[in-house]
Amino acid sequence: MATRNRPLSPHLQVYKLPVSAQLSISHRITGVILCGGAVLLTYWLMAATYGPEAFATAQAILGSWIGKLVLLGVVFSLWYHLANGIRHLIWDTGRGLELPQLRTSGMVVVASAVILTVATFVLAYTVGN
């Protein structure tokens, strides 16, 4: 069987998703992470109602390095999802839909999520301790 010299479809390793597509996918992923965060919050609150021993266990789990890493991801997801949701509300007014504005607003969303996450953890660890 002879092979034909046809172009291959772009593979994911070759094709680069536009920034707007990457941010859209990230918005969906952070929504899923927030659902997991809601489960963690529910676990923490239920542990508090079951008494000091259960609450101490929950605090130990969430206070471990992996628990803090998970909380960092949940907090980042919260800020990112909020900032991107505000971006979508602005789009609903018909503004910010040109390609340069899309890229700029996307970078503002990511930067604000990072800054607000760092601020949340700095505040939590300076006021909380």
**Is 8 part of a structural domain of the chain?**
no
For residue range 82-108, list pLDDT tens digits in order: 999 999 999 999 999 999 999 999 999
**Is 13 part of a structural domain of the chain?**
no
Tell me the whole-structure pTM to 2 decimals: 0.86
Structural domains counted in the chain: 1
**Which residue's entry shows tokens 């952070």?**
30
With a cut of 90, say whether residue 18 has pLDDT above it.
no
Q: Are 80 and 30 in contact (CB under 8 A)?
A: yes
Buried b / exposed e along 60-99 (16+ C-beta atoms within 10 A) = eebeeeeeeebbeebbbbbbbbbbbeebeeeeeeeeeeee
**Is 90 part of a structural domain of the chain?**
yes
With a cut of 60, say whether residue 1 has pLDDT above it.
no
**Is 36 part of a structural domain of the chain?**
yes
C-alpha 121/C-alpha 105 separation (Å) is: 24
- Tokens encoding 111: 């930067």
**Top-confidence residue, 129 or 79:** 79
User: Which CATH number do you get for residue 111?
Assistant: 1.20.1300.10
- Tokens encoding 112: 């604000």
**Is 62 part of a structural domain of the chain?**
yes
**Is 122 part of a structural domain of the chain?**
yes
**Axis-axis angle for helices 19-49, 99-127 (nearest 10):** 30
> How confident is the prediction for the chain on average, in pLDDT?
92
**Is 43 part of a structural domain of the chain?**
yes
**Is 86 part of a structural domain of the chain?**
yes
Once rounded to an integer, what is the mean pLDDT over residues 11-34? 88
Domain extent at residue 46 = 20-127
